[in-house]
Chains A and B, each alone.
Chain A
């Protein structure tokens, strides 16, 4: 793994003394999630300046081996079940008709083709299993961590981007194992490129942040946002479409955050 400092620092961004990097070891497995501290600060999201409290973020996009622990933790849902879940229910995806990983790779590769519902359930499971406040980042947290102290939208030169991000020009049309490119100043890999990352907006609604392996280099930036579109499931042949899997969104993944 290559770790280097690539981002110019526009202002101070120091980690509070009481936050230290740690690894979350999942029960009954050897799998660990590496978490690094992210300092608090202010970030401009759209037209609004948002205060961000210190938090922890996973160094990588979530790989399949972590997600599989959730998938295998109990019975899957029935196909096309549209039960309205209570706030404490932990449900698992129904079995998919397709391979959600598209056969591109499993161990070490980022989770893809997941809906925001699936990710929410993953976090309910993770919180219950670890007794810690794991969740998706807010979009403000995500952007703040992505910019890593840079004031305003983060844009990298093509050379810098090639060192740190998988994008249309270098990905050969597929995702790549997490953590192969250079991390940012905070130790975050693939924060631009590889897969977009689910977050929650100020209204608590899901939003996909950042660029991915299919997007051109010039579109990779910290302010890119996407919302679910029906064509993310166009080739799901069923109705209702799956609430768990996106048949046509190999760019949709996520990263783990933990509250302090």
Chain B
């Protein structure tokens, strides 16, 4: 470990020297990261002060390779902004320097928060994903490094926008982390290497399951009278396809991401089924969200092999939440429980029994923290780090499966990407008093997918 650490430090030193030299040759581009190399303070702005955004801020401030300081915060809801500030301050007060004049409220607050940073600082983008491309665009224009939570797109048009924006980010040398933390699970990294080295043989089948109760805001009852439509849809973002891609995109993305990683390929098409059953809560109040209760999607890879994903958000039904890779030489457990729970394992045949165990992981580190260690280390060393391409591809593939279930059609990757239905075309103009991206019908319910009826769009 000592030797390895010394090597890393030496490499970082050499890289830093190179980076500094480059700065004088390319002042407009390379300046983006100059002051954050070495050991200077990195400032972060939190854009989107919900639970995960606050959690990401704690991860950022807790990196070993600091100092990192929380410098600005932005949200559209005052209660979220104040609550997040309180929680982060209570936990890591000495790393929080966000006076009132750097706490920004409103739909343009993201600009003000990023304006307070210096090029090379970090913008944390953790609003509902419907806003992601817009905020990323601004971060790039300010030459900010970025951490963005998943999902990073919700539909085909947004995915294309992100592909274009990311070309600019890469050209500017920006370091961008995406919150697909499976990839920062050490046990999964080991498993991926073993699979790539052939320990499971040829991968023929993968299975992912995420079945639990209706978590977070995936099911919603009618809007309270004292709240505007747009406020309601942002607060309940998992219920609205424009804001999150729905529970399919927001929740199931992790298994889809890590199983594609294990396969070493992305599927080229999907077919799926889904449905809504007794959509009322325990007190008989109807749910008005756009999600199905259950989804089952069959993904097909270019080599013809299959990946089956089953998702369900139903109260009281048996839970199952795990993922598996089946190869010609054996089976692997990728997520034993949850999105990344270990131990990851390889078995010598198709029986997952102790007597067949060939390998099992031992690392228990926290991938939510690991992903931040990597990002800050890369910023300091001025080494390339851009997880956006992978993130876009994973989001597009996830949404392709969702679209297949929502339309009842087989959907190819190209069909998804080129589908003209943009869920929130006017994202840049949204404001408190503006109409919401989707409005309820006379029955108070929002448009829902109708497979076989609406075939070329999801709702």
Q: Give chain A interface residues in 71-87, CB to chain B under 8 Å.
A: 72, 74-76, 79-80, 82
Asked whether, in the complex, the Cβ of A99 is within 8 Å of the Cβ of B319, the reply is yes
Chain B residues with Cβ below 8 Å from A238 are 51-52, 54-55
Majority SS at the chain B contact face:
mixed
Known: A98-B337, A103-B322, A103-B337. A75 touches B282 (CB 8 A): yes
Known: A97-B216, A234-B366, A235-B366. A240 touches B51 (CB 8 A): yes
Chain A residues with Cβ below 8 Å from B367 are 235
Chain B residues with Cβ below 8 Å from A239 are 51, 54-55, 57-58, 84, 87-88, 91
Asked whether, in the complex, the Cβ of B84 is within 8 Å of the Cβ of A95, the reply is no
Asked whether, in the complex, the Cβ of A237 is within 8 Å of the Cβ of B338, the reply is no
Residue B385 CB within 8 A of the other chain:
no
B352 to chain A, nearest CB (A): 12
Chain A residues with Cβ below 8 Å from B214 are 95
Q: Give chain A interface residues in 194-228, CB to chain B under 8 Å.
A: none
Known: A72-B315, A103-B322. A96 touches B212 (CB 8 A): yes
B58, B320, B341 — most chain A CB neighbours (10 Å): B341
From the candidates B52, B216, B319, name the one contacting A106 in the complex (CB within 8 A): B319
Residue A8 CB within 8 A of the other chain:
no
Known: A96-B215, A234-B366. A102 touches B354 (CB 8 A): no
Residue B213 CB within 8 A of the other chain:
yes
From the candidates B181, B216, B336, name the one contacting A103 in the complex (CB within 8 A): B336
Question: A75 vs B315: C-alpha distance in the bound complex, in angstroms?
Answer: 11
B259 to chain A, nearest CB (A): 17
B53 to chain A, nearest CB (A): 8
Interface string of B48-66 (1 = CB under 8 A from A): 0001101111100000000
Known: A99-B337, A237-B368. A79 touches B216 (CB 8 A): yes
Asked whether, in the complex, the Cβ of B84 is within 8 Å of the Cβ of A103, the reply is no
Chain B residues with Cβ below 8 Å from A103 are 319-322, 336-337
Residue A120 CB within 8 A of the other chain:
no
Chain B residues with Cβ below 8 Å from A235 are 340, 366-368
Residue A101 CB within 8 A of the other chain:
yes
Residue A172 CB within 8 A of the other chain:
yes
Chain A residues with Cβ below 8 Å from B281 are 75
Q: Give chain A interface residues in 227-260, CB to chain B under 8 Å.
A: 234-240
Residue of B nearest to A240 (CB): B87
Question: A75 vs B319: C-alpha distance in the bound complex, in angstroms?
Answer: 19
Q: Tell me how many residues of A have a C-beta within 8 Å of chain B.
A: 27
Asked whether, in the complex, the Cβ of B217 is within 8 Å of the Cβ of A79, the reply is yes
The range of chain B's interface size is 35 or more
Question: A75 vs B220: C-alpha distance in the bound complex, in angstroms?
Answer: 12
Interface string of B326-362 (1 = CB under 8 A from A): 0000000000111011010000000000100000000
Chain A residues with Cβ below 8 Å from B83 are 82
Chain A residues with Cβ below 8 Å from B215 are 79, 95-97
B312 to chain A, nearest CB (A): 12
Q: Give chain A interface residues in 55-77, CB to chain B under 8 Å.
A: 68, 72, 74-76
Residue of B nearest to A234 (CB): B366
Question: A96 vs B338: C-alpha distance in the bound complex, in angstroms?
Answer: 11
Chain A residues with Cβ below 8 Å from B341 are 98, 102
Residue B303 CB within 8 A of the other chain:
no
Asked whether, in the complex, the Cβ of A95 is within 8 Å of the Cβ of B318, the reply is no
Residue of B nearest to A235 (CB): B366
Asked whether, in the complex, the Cβ of A98 is within 8 Å of the Cβ of B282, the reply is no
Asked whether, in the complex, the Cβ of A106 is within 8 Å of the Cβ of B318, the reply is yes
Asked whether, in the complex, the Cβ of A98 is within 8 Å of the Cβ of B338, the reply is yes
Asked whether, in the complex, the Cβ of A237 is within 8 Å of the Cβ of B212, the reply is no
Residue of A nearest to B212 (CB): A99
Residue B283 CB within 8 A of the other chain:
yes
Known: A95-B216, A101-B319, A239-B88. A79 touches B51 (CB 8 A): yes
Residue B2 CB within 8 A of the other chain:
no
Question: A74 vs B283: C-alpha distance in the bound complex, in angstroms?
Answer: 8
Residue of A nearest to B91 (CB): A239
Question: A236 vs B316: C-alpha distance in the bound complex, in angstroms?
Answer: 22
Question: A173 vs B361: C-alpha distance in the bound complex, in angstroms?
Answer: 13
Question: A236 vs B320: C-alpha distance in the bound complex, in angstroms?
Answer: 19
Asked whether, in the complex, the Cβ of B337 is within 8 Å of the Cβ of A102, the reply is yes
Residue of B nearest to A79 (CB): B216
Interface string of B182-222 (1 = CB under 8 A from A): 00000000000000000000000000000011111100000
Residue of B nearest to A97 (CB): B215
Chain A residues with Cβ below 8 Å from B213 are 76, 95-96
B341 to chain A, nearest CB (A): 7
Question: A74 vs B367: C-alpha distance in the bound complex, in angstroms?
Answer: 34
B60 to chain A, nearest CB (A): 12
Known: A75-B281, A75-B283. A237 touches B337 (CB 8 A): no
Chain B residues with Cβ below 8 Å from A172 are 354
Question: A167 vs B223: C-alpha distance in the bound complex, in angstroms?
Answer: 50
Residue of A nearest to B211 (CB): A99
B234 to chain A, nearest CB (A): 15
Chain A residues with Cβ below 8 Å from B217 are 79
Asked whether, in the complex, the Cβ of B319 is within 8 Å of the Cβ of A72, the reply is no
B90 to chain A, nearest CB (A): 9
Question: A166 vs B341: C-alpha distance in the bound complex, in angstroms?
Answer: 22
Residue of A nearest to B368 (CB): A237
Known: A96-B212, A97-B215, A238-B54. A72 touches B321 (CB 8 A): no
From the candidates B51, B181, B315, B318, name the one contacting A80 in the complex (CB within 8 A): B51
Question: A235 vs B254: C-alpha distance in the bound complex, in angstroms?
Answer: 15
Top 6 A-B pairs, shortest CB-CB distance? A238-B51, A239-B54, A95-B213, A99-B319, A102-B337, A95-B215
28 A-B pairs whose Cβ atoms sit less than 8 Å apart in the complex: A75-B282, A76-B213, A79-B217, A95-B212, A95-B213, A95-B215, A95-B216, A96-B213, A97-B212, A97-B338, A98-B212, A98-B321, A99-B320, A99-B337, A102-B336, A102-B338, A102-B341, A103-B320, A104-B337, A106-B318, A235-B368, A237-B56, A238-B55, A239-B54, A239-B55, A239-B58, A239-B91, A240-B54
Given contacts A97-B216, A237-B52, A239-B51, 14 further A-B contacts (CB under 8 A): A74-B282, A79-B51, A96-B215, A99-B212, A99-B319, A102-B337, A102-B338, A106-B318, A234-B366, A236-B55, A238-B51, A238-B54, A239-B58, A240-B87
